[in-house]
Structure 1
Amino acid sequence: MYFPFLRGKQYELIALRELVSLPLNPSLVSPIVEPIKKNLNTITTAAKALKTIGVKMQLIVNPQYGELKNKTEAILEYIAFQDTSEGIDNLIPSFIIQNQADFLNFRNFRSSSSWKNSGFSLIHLKQIAETEELVSLLAGAEVNANIIHVNQMLTLRRKFRGASSALLSDPFNKQRRNKDYADYADEFFSNDYRYYREEGYSGFGDYLTIGEEYIEGGGLPYAVVLHLTYLDTETGDIRIRHFLSDSNDDTSDTPGKFYEALDKLIAFVIQRQISETIAISKFKEIYENQSYPGLGVIKKLSMMHHLELIQTVMG
């Protein structure tokens, strides 16, 4: 199972909705979504679309960032309402575990009579002092996914010997400035899809082509960069190519910078005969029409391509 980790931003949720037509395979993909806005309408729309093809959304109930931080009860109530009143039953309460407060939050959930028999997921970002007690709380529970950040994998996997665990990594080599990607034009991304089963994991996840670091907003860029993962057919590894604009001395003419980068992406796709994903088709359409879609759409397409690529290589 592949667990792509997305923040609940507009274009990330739109990416999930637009991939429903692929269709996403419920036996291969189950996205993790961290809600960051009080208005959950976009998550409802995405969850409803995913339900039509049987895909579960791992919805984080104790987000680290945004307007819903420390609003666990409100998110749990939202999940319960969607299930009982709206028939949207594919939202899985998912708890980030990285400190004592997270542990106490989860323990309260497990002791609640209204949720006692409900399925849930855990996402371990750090090992905590209460790990042994946490393990005991899983006994007899319906655990949908037990996902461990790769930085904590060796220690925590030993603790959860009786549980089927997935790994979460951040292979995206994020640079401080866009123009710094010039030094890392093409690099290794991941090969977890090839080895997770033989290494005893039930699944794997990543932060797609965005990276683990959370950034809200941003100004006009000096340089525009497009990120595209692809399969290295010789090694079987997933690599990533960064396509950088050329006129990067100031923040003027973002559309022009975008087309400088897009020209390189299209040439690479043709030269390497990259498979025609939904996102690649859209990039080609944009290139032919010479229409600038905005930076949000560009990030969305990059994520969509990566998600479709991973599902394809897993299948």
Structure 2
Amino acid sequence: PSYLISAHTKKANLDNFFKLYSDRNVALIYNSAHFADADIKSVAANGKIVYHVVLNEKVTAAQLALLPKEKLVDVRDSFNKMQRNADYDGVEFFTDRHKLVGRRICAVGDYTITGRSLDIGGGKPGAVAIHVSYKDKVTADIWMEHFVSDDKDRDVGDVSTKFLQAARKLVTQVDLRPKEFGSDFALLAY
């Protein structure tokens, strides 16, 4: 069980949560820094908490230092979301937070290509974009590469043709740089 700490959470709310799950390990998810440092320190000492998940840097540096590193999970929205698929282009840095695992945090998380909020749209897309993450072979940083269809107008072509245009670009790069992209079921399907 996990409890989401928001700006409205009171220490009494957490105490009730701990009582409700007194026989279980739990996780706390921090989406606000409004708790007093003393409360954070008190909560951090609770042995039943197996993870302290911090969303999008929503705690202060001082509070972060109070949380046990061996239980700290850092979750960030690193995807640079565009309004339209046609707006994506090329390669961009995604994250290097995984390099801190075992030193300053126990795990990392992200929202991959959806971002923190899922935007539901409709209608025929102007372009099809495929977003693929890969590890730079020199720095081990994670980068995101965007493969966009050649056709980018809603009134030109169909979705399946646009998908194939983007997929061909992806497959070409994977064939040229197999060590960066690696191999998995998704890439094999492309």
How would you bin the TM-score normalised by the shorter chain?
0.7 to 0.9
Once residues 77 and 105 of structure 2 are traced to their aligned partners in structure 1, the CA distance between those partners, rounded to angstroms, is: 17
Once residues 134 and 43 of structure 2 are traced to their aligned partners in structure 1, the CA distance between those partners, rounded to angstroms, is: 40
Once residues 51 and 92 of structure 2 are traced to their aligned partners in structure 1, the CA distance between those partners, rounded to angstroms, is: 30
Please say if 1:213 is aligned against 2:120.
Answer: no
- Structure 2: gaps (5+ residues): none
2:34 maps to which of 120, 128, 140: 128
Once residues 27 and 102 of structure 2 are traced to their aligned partners in structure 1, the CA distance between those partners, rounded to angstroms, is: 19
- Structure 1: gaps (5+ residues): 1-92, 284-315
Once residues 26 and 65 of structure 2 are traced to their aligned partners in structure 1, the CA distance between those partners, rounded to angstroms, is: 21
1:243 maps to which of 147, 152, 160: 147
Once residues 182 and 46 of structure 2 are traced to their aligned partners in structure 1, the CA distance between those partners, rounded to angstroms, is: 44
Kindly indicate whether the alpha-carbon contact (under 8 Å) linking 1:97 and 1:103 is maintained by their aligned counterparts in 2: no
- 1:192 maps to 97
2:57 maps to which of 124, 143, 151: 151
TM-score normalised by L of structure 1: 0.53
Instruction: Give 1:108's aligned amino acid.
Output: N
Distance 1:280 1:104, change over 3 A: farther
Once residues 70 and 174 of structure 2 are traced to their aligned partners in structure 1, the CA distance between those partners, rounded to angstroms, is: 41
Once residues 111 and 131 of structure 1 are traced to their aligned partners in structure 2, the CA distance between those partners, rounded to angstroms, is: 22
Give the superposed CA RMSD.
2.4
Please say if 1:110 is aligned against 2:14.
Answer: no
Secondary structure of 2:163's counterpart equals: helix
Once the 2 structures are TM-superposed, how far is the Cα of residue 97 of structure 1 from its aligned partner?
Answer: 1.7
2:160 maps to which of 244, 255, 266: 255
Greater strand proportion: 2
- 1:289 maps to none
Number of aligned residue pairs: 186
Please say if 1:98 is aligned against 2:26.
Answer: no
Percent pairwise identity? 27
Deviations 1:103-136 (CA, angstroms, capped at 9, x unpaired): 6654322232xx2121111121221245643542
TM-score normalised by L of structure 2: 0.84
Once residues 162 and 233 of structure 1 are traced to their aligned partners in structure 2, the CA distance between those partners, rounded to angstroms, is: 27
Distance 1:217 1:131, change over 3 A: farther
Once the 2 structures are TM-superposed, how far is the Cα of residue 150 of structure 1 from its aligned partner?
Answer: 4.4
Kindly indicate whether the alpha-carbon contact (under 8 Å) linking 2:11 and 2:39 is maintained by their aligned counterparts in 1: no
Deviations 1:154-204 (CA, angstroms, capped at 9, x unpaired): 24213435873221111111112111113xx10111122223323x21221
Kindly indicate whether the alpha-carbon contact (under 8 Å) linking 1:170 and 1:207 is maintained by their aligned counterparts in 2: yes
Once residues 97 and 2 of structure 2 are traced to their aligned partners in structure 1, the CA distance between those partners, rounded to angstroms, is: 22
Instruction: Give 2:72's aligned amino acid.
Output: S
Please say if 1:227 is aligned against 2:118.
Answer: no
